[in-house]
Amino acid sequence: MRKIWGIFLAAAVLLSGCKRYDPVETTETPPPVVVQEESTGSETLETEQETEGTAAPEPVEVTTAEEPESPERRPVKVKGIYLSAHVAGNEEKMQEMIQKIDETEINAVVIDVKDDNGRITFQMDQPLVEETGAVEAFIPDIQGLMDTLKEHNIYTIARVVSFRDPYLAEKKPELALKLADGSLYRDKKGMAWVNPYKQEMWDYLVDVGIQAHQVGFDEIQFDYIRFSTEKGIGDVVYDEADVRGRDKKTVITEFVQYASEKLKDEGAFVAADVFGAVMGGGIDSDTVGQSYGDMANQLDYICPMIYPSHYSSGNFGLEHPDTEPYKTIFGALQKSGKVLLDASRADNHESRQAIVRPWLQDFTATYLGEGNYITYGAAEVAEEVRAVQDAGYKEWMLWSAANKYHLEELSVTNGDKNESDP
């Protein structure tokens, strides 16, 4: 196994990462301490705060998987950015993006294939897509886009939003999460969710991933691969014929295993976005259905969302984590490393583990209020990237819902743009 040496900061306890929300100015995120806002029934998700100062660094040997590779799969050490389907489908905007990519360390793009509303972003020959009319072709010429990206040696990742799917839930209510009265469960944004216990949903998501790979995407990245955590989810009624005694973490892990096996057979790499909070296990993990170590055993890449703006005062010994991007990212990744190391030791290092590839922040969280945030620009992004490197990792992705990125300090001369293992 490949071994990465990291430095674990004792007494650092991760609060939570959070995932894709509608934009607030330049960010997709809601008000601060998002996971604390969400609850299951009457049970509010608790967060652990650091109560001690940061101890002296202690060397820790972190074991990760061998680079995933096969004759059909060439791994790339990804330095990526997220692009919405609206941008990806606009030739003029994509040319601007590609020019920036060519001039920087960026070597990968994450593009919506199945978006936050459940819409498929290019024409796709899939039975359930055709039955429900799920296509909204923001990308009118997907093959042309893929050809252009490959010409520029850009690694392509298909973002597939999984179990938050308001479009499919409305069109196929038999696949949706429901309350006792038969009505659809909806989160605070009014979004309906589909049922992770439904095998038909598993097959649908896998089919979408396969077709994305067939048009040229190198990797399939599942997002919202979890249960909703908001108030009212505890009132959802499940059919035991679907559940079969499985808890939320078990069924999500089983889906990850199922999807990974199917997609790897097709020659695609497989990744999943996860809450940062699940690194610590406990109620957060139980509620969302994400087991960090178990999922890492099945995936090629696991992508924790560790945006500094999503940590509250006290985490990693920091009064205002958003104002200290380096320390926040470093502490979060050391938490990840310790959790995966402990998981590896628990099974005598027999299981493989995914490569850790974190999501980083490239947006300004003005909603945190004066004194609690800083403006994120090129210097702050560079600090986050430096923290990833200093923590012993080589891959990262930048998130901006507005697709406005500050890449000025990520010149191509600062690293090997297309680094990969032989």
Q: Kindly tell me if the per-residue pLDDT of 60 is higher than 50.
A: no
Burial 99-138 (b: 16+ CB within 10 A, else e): eebeebbbbbbbbbbbbbebbbbbebebebbeebebeeeb
Percentage of residues in the chain having pLDDT higher than 90: 71
pLDDT grade for 397, boundaries at 50, 70 and 90: very high
DSSP-derived secondary structure letter, 68: P
How far is residue 266's CA from residue 72's CA, in Å, rounded to a whole number?
A: 9
Angle value at C-alpha 183, between 179 and 188, nearest 5 degrees:
75
Q: Kindly tell me if the per-residue pLDDT of 200 is higher than 90.
A: yes
Q: What is the mean pLDDT of residues 50-61?
A: 34
pLDDT grade for 260, boundaries at 50, 70 and 90: very high
Q: What is the mean pLDDT of residues 115-122?
A: 98
Outline where 274-354 has alpha helix (H).
282-288, 292-296, 325-346
Question: Average pLDDT over the chain, rounded to whole?
Answer: 84
Q: What is the mean pLDDT of residues 300-314?
A: 92
Q: Kindly tell me if the per-residue pLDDT of 322 is higher than 90.
A: yes
Letter for the amino acid at 155? Y
Question: Tell me: the pLDDT tens digits for 136-175?
Answer: 999 999 999 999 999 999 999 999 999 999 999 999 999 9
Q: Regarding predicted confidence, which is higher, 350 or 213?
A: 213
* pTM of the predicted model as reported, rounded to 2 decimal places: 0.84
Q: Kindly tell me if the per-residue pLDDT of 21 is higher than 50.
A: no
Q: What pLDDT, on a 0 to 100 scale, did the predictor assign at position 414?
A: 55
Q: What pLDDT, on a 0 to 100 scale, did the predictor assign at position 312?
A: 85
Question: Tell me: the pLDDT tens digits for 375-386?
Answer: 999 999 999 999
The SS3 of residue 84 is coil
Domains and CATH numbers, the chain: 3-414 (3.20.20.80)
Question: Tell me: the pLDDT tens digits for 363-375?
Answer: 999 999 999 999 9
Q: What pLDDT, on a 0 to 100 scale, did the predictor assign at position 415?
A: 55
